[in-house]
């Protein structure tokens, strides 16, 4: 496959001095009820492109979504406002950030005309209007009416055909991607097309069916699949190992059997857990029991992989040339159920292999484990990185590659 950036300009190649640059970012950060940003990684990841545009004298219009506001809900309009993000951006950049309540208001053009060098504009949460997710051309035309250059650096939203991601760049001639997308795509391309052997893929999380396209796409490149999390029980059951009341996707058992055969035919490995941490139910505070084998009693269910499994997986991880990890090994969010996931995070951190973490929960698990700085890349775009790796064309990339659609104007 060709490099995903083929035919796409990066922000460095665009003429932006004195131009209005519409910069689509993924500033979708978690906020507490009191509007405090609990994880600012996405803001920090956006800074290089913001700083570049400012240093080149562009007039910046920043835009992002935040959460999933219910349209017309006044509480959501307050709780999912980008105001705390703008305040943080001011602290980080030293520039005043003017928050525009309605991106369709006529006043935006006037504000841009008078925008000072120490100011930038941020449009309020794009999802406050249903036109964003509807990929509305009409909405995009309003945004295009004050945009000279369009830059997408919202990797985490680029798998969505929404107005600011797809319809808008289709109306703009001068466009490209920012530094974050450039970095994400370079890393993912390397994993997908030039993985250094052995390529170890660690899969966990809750749903087998979600990961099937990824397995199918990469089966010929991966040397070992290590499977933990709730996913593992479907695979163990397919092998005839008792899994008790653990989460099993019955409809995927035949896929799992076929997957074993396909890997065997290729002379490659699938590692499953050798032991488990179990509980009588999924309720918080349930008594946890360590098993001594891969079998789970009828009255129990698996909540994490056990220490033998961590050692078993870690040996393979230590020898890896490339590691891609998606999906935690257990219910790591819960007290007492994070040892498996954190143990694997440690093994990944200690391995010399090039390591990439994809997936929202996996990223927060690695962060919680304390090994975040020892992995090579944590993708900021959970869904987008998986969709890219499984071969889905990202609408946000297609739109910045395509020529301007003159006929719709
Ligand atoms: P990511 O967001 O990284 O793609 P997923 O969304 O696929 O990961 O999976 C994460 C979820 O899987 C977490 O909420 C975690 O609690 C859950 N999970 C992991 N192991 C188990 C298990 N044994 N039983 C139930 N849920 C599990
Ligand atoms: Mg998830």
pLDDT at 380 over 90: no
Which residue's C-alpha comes closest to atom 25 of ligand 1?
Answer: 230
Say yes or no to pLDDT of 407 above 60: no
Ligand 1: nearest atom to the Cα of 326: 3
Predicted confidence (pLDDT) per residue in 123-139, tens digit: 999 999 999 999 999 99
Does residue 205's CB lie within 6 angstroms of at least one atom of ligand 1? yes
* Distance in Å, CA 207 to ligand 1 centroid: 8
Tokens 């946890």: give the residue. Answer: 288
Mean pLDDT of all residues in 203-230: 94
Residues designated catalytic: 42, 207, 360, 383
pLDDT tens-digit readout, 230-287: 999 999 999 999 999 999 999 999 999 999 999 999 999 999 999 999 999 989 889 9
Flag whether pLDDT at 409 surpasses 70: no
pLDDT reported for residue 268? 94
How many Å lie between the centroid of ligand 1 and the Cα of residue 93?
Answer: 36
pLDDT average, residue stretch 381-392: 91
The reported pLDDT for the residue numbered 406 is 66
pLDDT tens by residue, 141-196: 999 999 999 999 999 999 999 999 999 999 999 999 999 999 999 999 999 999 99
| pLDDT tens, residue by residue, 137-147 | 999 999 999 99
> Ligand 1 atom 15: the closest Cα is on which residue?
331
Task: Report the residue among 232, 237, 328 best suited for mutation to probe ligand 1: largest number of ligand atoms under 8 A from its CB.
Answer: 328
**What is the arithmetic mean of pLDDT over 198-215?**
94
Q: How many A from CA of 156 to the centre of ligand 2?
A: 13
User: Using a 6 Å cutoff on CB, does residue 270 contact ligand 1?
Assistant: no
Per-residue pLDDT tens digits for 297-350: 999 999 999 999 999 999 999 999 999 999 999 999 999 999 999 999 999 999
Encode pLDDT of 92-120 as tens digits: 999 999 999 999 999 999 999 999 999 99
pLDDT recorded at residue 71: 83
Q: Which of 30, 202, 204, 205 to mutate to test the pocket of ligand 1 (most atoms within 8 A of CB)?
A: 205
Average pLDDT over the chain, rounded to whole?
A: 95
pLDDT higher than threshold 70 for residue 408: no
Site to substitute for ligand 1 among 211, 230, 326, 342, most atoms within 8 A of C-beta: 230
Indicate whether residue 228 lines ligand 1 (CB < 6 A).
no
Res. 87 pLDDT band, cuts 50 70 90: very high
Given the CA of residue 233, which atom of ligand 1 is nearest to it?
A: 23
Compute, in angstroms, the gap from residue 179 CA to the centroid of ligand 2.
25
């Amino acid at each position: 496959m060709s490099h995903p950036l083929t035919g796409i300009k990066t922000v460095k190649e665009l003429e932006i001095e004195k131009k209005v640059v519409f910069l689509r970012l993924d500033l979708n950060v978690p906020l507490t009820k009191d509007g405090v940003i609990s994880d600012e990684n996405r803001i920090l990841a956006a800074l290089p492109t913001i700083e570049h545009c400012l240093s080149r004298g562009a007039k910046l219009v920043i835009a992002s979504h935040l959460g999933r506001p219910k349209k017309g809900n006044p509480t959501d309009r307050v709780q999912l406002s980008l105001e705390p993000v703008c305040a943080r951006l001011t602290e980080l950049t030293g520039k005043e950030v003017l928050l525009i309540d309605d991106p369709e208001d006529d006043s935006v053009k006037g504000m841009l005309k008078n925008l000072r060098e120490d100011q930038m504009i941020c449009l309020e949460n794009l999802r406050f209007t249903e036109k964003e997710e509807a990929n509305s051309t009409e909405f995009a035309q309003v945004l295009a009416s004050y945009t000279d250059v369009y830059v997408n650096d919202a990797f985490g939203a680029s798998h969505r055909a929404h107005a600011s991601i797809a319809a808008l760049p289709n109306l703009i001639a001068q466009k490209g991607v920012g530094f974050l997308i450039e970095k994400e795509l370079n890393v993912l391309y390397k994993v997908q097309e030039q993985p250094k052997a052995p390529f170890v893929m660690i899969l966990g999380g809750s749903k087998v069916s979600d990961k099937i396209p990824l397995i199918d796409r990469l089966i010929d490149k991966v040397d070992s699949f290590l499977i933990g999390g709730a996913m593992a029980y479907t695979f163990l059951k397919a092998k005839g190992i008792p899994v008790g009341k653990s989460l099993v996707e019955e409809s995927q058992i035949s896929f799992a059997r076929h997957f074993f055969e396909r890997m065997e035919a290729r002379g490659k490995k699938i590692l499953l857990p050798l032991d488990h941490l179990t509980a009588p139910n999924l309720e918080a505070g349930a008594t946890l029991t360590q098993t001594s084998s891969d079998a789970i009693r009828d009255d129990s269910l698996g909540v994490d992989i056990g220490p033998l499994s961590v050692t078993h997986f870690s040996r393979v991880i230590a020898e890896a040339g490339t590691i891609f990890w998606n999906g935690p090994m257990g219910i790591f969010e819960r007290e007492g159920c994070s040892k498996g996931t954190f143990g694997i995070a440690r093994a990944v951190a200690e391995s010399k292999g090039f390591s990439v973490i994809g997936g929202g929960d996996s990223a927060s698990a690695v962060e919680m484990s304390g090994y975040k700085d020892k992995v090579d890349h944590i993708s900021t775009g959970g869904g987008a990185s998986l969709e890219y790796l499984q071969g889905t064309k990202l609408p946000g990339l297609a739109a910045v590659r395509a020529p301007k659609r003159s006929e719709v104007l």
